[in-house]
Structure 1
Amino acid sequence: MAFSKENRQGTIYGIIFVAIFAAAATSIAQISFVKSLGISPLVIGIVLGIFYANTLHNHIPSAWGTGITFSGKKILRFAIVFYGFRITFQQIMDVGLSGFTVSLIMLSTTFLLGTYLGVKAFKMDRDTSMLTAAGASVCGAAAVLATEPVLKAEGYKTAVAVSMVVLFGTISMFLYPVLYASIIEPATGFLHMTPEQFGIYTGGTIHEVAQVVAVPASVPGAPEVMANSAVIVKMTRVIMIAPMLIILGIYLSMQAKKTGKAGDKLQLVIPWFAVYFIGMAGFNSLDLVPHAIVGTINQIDTFLLTMAMTALGMGTIFSKFKGLGLAPLYTAGVMFAWLVVGGFVVTKFVTGAL
């Protein structure tokens, strides 16, 4: 136990150690240049954690490991629950049926495509495939973090998935404004999108929330409706992580029953933190808490998520990546192509532009 008498001191020191790294990641994310790129402190945290894991980890007391593990597991679940304070059911309703439909189609198809290709075509293990698919289909690094405890995956696999989110999410952030300025906006035929449609397209296909926010801000003269549509559709995808994880938990339980020994009792894997996440979003929808307090909660929650990412990075040693090869890159690349091209077609179809 992390806080048993013999482990308590090491756990506390380990948590403080992770918090110091998370504070550094938060400070770096506030630098103007870094902020302009839309790189979240979560991503910086895992980079710092990976740097530590492959340089200094042998110089830190091993007793602190329980605190690092606690940060990557327990604090993670707590932070995911309070992520619900970023969403209201009213926001989802405001974007309408079209935004919800685009979110649902892109989430489900991208997750299934990424999982299938990762396992069948590129011969990755199931956990890495699903984590990579979750990051691309839902909400980037936060989705990878939320899926990891359901799969009970090793930390380095989570880091692989997050690295794919960073790579292709960053490419999206630069690609989409160029597409809109040079192809989509000036066209009058099939390629043309209204600002609202482009916002739905952006929110339904780009990985990270911060990256979604950055795209409309990078389009000169972009109307407010573009940014609003993008954020609301993105947050719709975020809230879908809860039912996705519940379905995934049921699926894993069914698979365990099929492959288990005769007489084994089926244990349903329900990620209760995902259920609590929905409940927190519902509570937030009642608007009972002052906005200033909600803002503070979200800031604290971002820091806790950064701690979790940092802790996962601290468990990532490059030697463990041997054997994976380029499979994660290929899998994430195909999903990226589907999000960009398939997401465009789906958005045009759902919004009645085809």
Structure 2
Amino acid sequence: MQKTAYISGVAAALLLAAAAQWLAALPWLAAHAISPLLLAIVGGMLLANLRPLPAGWLPGLRLCRQSLLRAGIVLFGLQLTLGQLQQLGGRVLLIDALVLASTFGLALWLGRRLGLDRDSCVLIGAGSAICGAAAVLATQPVIRASSERAGVAVAGVVLFGSIAMLLYPWLYGLLAPLGLNQAGYGVLTGSTLHEVAQVLVAGKAVGEAAAASAVLTKMLRVMLLAPFLLLLAAVWQRRAAAQGQRAPIAVPWFAFGFIAAIALNSSGWLPPALHDGLLLLGRLLLAAAMAALGLDTRFAALYRAGWRPLALAALLFGWLLLGGGGINWLLRA
């Protein structure tokens, strides 16, 4: 396929991504933590369902959902440092790991009992357990899930993550008289809320100390995305081999790039201007991947998915609040 075949689709996704970035920076949307990723997928879905897309867009949109997505995930690692892990210590790492493992395991168990297919269970579980829409998009190519299932998963985790963002500060007002301080609230928020932006807003609603603790805890949770993807790829390959299938090994090489980006950011070798430029590029690429996903999602597909995916996302939201809260309480400092 000629390279020019990709231009129109990539350009459409990048334009939507740039528009989403601009809208998300507007004061009201920024104050309510409306993520550019959410705006990008919603914009793509609206455009795709208002009129048929040109056939020439499809190769470029596929490139955005695959290659540009992986590049965006790698550059996302430049927001993290190994020093953040050392600063938080083993207790917070254990909390994050237990929340991730229990939420993902519960997603697989509950999802099957709700009658959901395995791919949907994995995508919704990953989004709820790690870092929302970005985790869904990172998991999709590892298990070779369809764009429709990924779109449904994103919708569920974004919806309930937004509800949690508004609920947590109110809960702090109830729990503070019982001994919950800002640092503890930050760890609770970072270890159980879905999106990084939502964690930041929920933390700042309580105080700067809460915001700092919340974001650091969330960043550590995001770091767990790389080993999660590697383990998931290994399990998926073993399962395929056990079923007599000769599927190629789906090694998520971008997970190694993600780790390398964290190490590079920790080294301090990157000039500040280059570092900021790469972060901006990474956010744009992730938004473009989300826009491409939206452009490949039809409302009819969401309707066909029914109530079960949202029910699973809702149940996992309840577990993150109650079960995650219990884990935090048991391992409190």
Task: Find the counterpart in structure 1 of residue 90 from structure 2.
Answer: 97
What 5-or-longer segments of structure 1 have no aligned partner?
none
Residues 140 and 162, structure 1, Cα contact 8 Å, conserved in 2: yes
Residues 197 and 348, structure 1, Cα contact 8 Å, conserved in 2: no
Which consecutive segments of 4 or more residues in structure 1 shift more than 3 A? none
What is the CA distance between 1:324 and its match in structure 2? 2.4
Q: Within 5 Å, which residues of 2 pair with 1:1-354?
A: 4-5=1-2, 8-56=3-51, 58=52, 60-119=53-112, 121-181=113-173, 183-187=174-178, 192-219=179-206, 222=207, 224-260=208-244, 264=246, 267-352=248-333
Q: Do the aligned partners of residues 292 and 99 (structure 1) sit closer, same or farther apart at CA in structure 2, a change above 3 Å counting?
A: farther
Residues 264 and 270, structure 2, Cα contact 8 Å, conserved in 1: no
Residues 156 and 309, structure 2, Cα contact 8 Å, conserved in 1: yes
Number of corresponding residues: 333
The residue identity in structure 2 corresponding to 1:169 is G
Cα deviation code 1:108-161 (max 9, x no counterpart): 110111122112x11111111110111100001110110011011111111111
What is the CA distance between 1:254 and its match in structure 2? 0.8
What is the CA distance between 1:296 and its match in structure 2? 2.1
The residue identity in structure 2 corresponding to 1:226 is A
**CA separation in 2, counterparts of 1:205 and 1:328?**
19
TM-score (norm 1): 0.91
What is the CA distance between 1:322 and its match in structure 2? 4.5
How much is the aligned-residue C-alpha RMSD, in angstroms? 1.3
Residues 203 and 212, structure 2, Cα contact 8 Å, conserved in 1: no
**CA separation in 2, counterparts of 1:81 and 1:55?**
33
Residues 135 and 161, structure 1, Cα contact 8 Å, conserved in 2: yes
The residue identity in structure 2 corresponding to 1:177 is P
What is the CA distance between 1:26 and its match in structure 2? 1.1
What is the CA distance between 1:341 and its match in structure 2? 0.9
The residue identity in structure 2 corresponding to 1:233 is T
**CA separation in 2, counterparts of 1:33 and 1:300?**
24
More helix as a share of residues: 2
**CA separation in 2, counterparts of 1:157 and 1:325?**
12
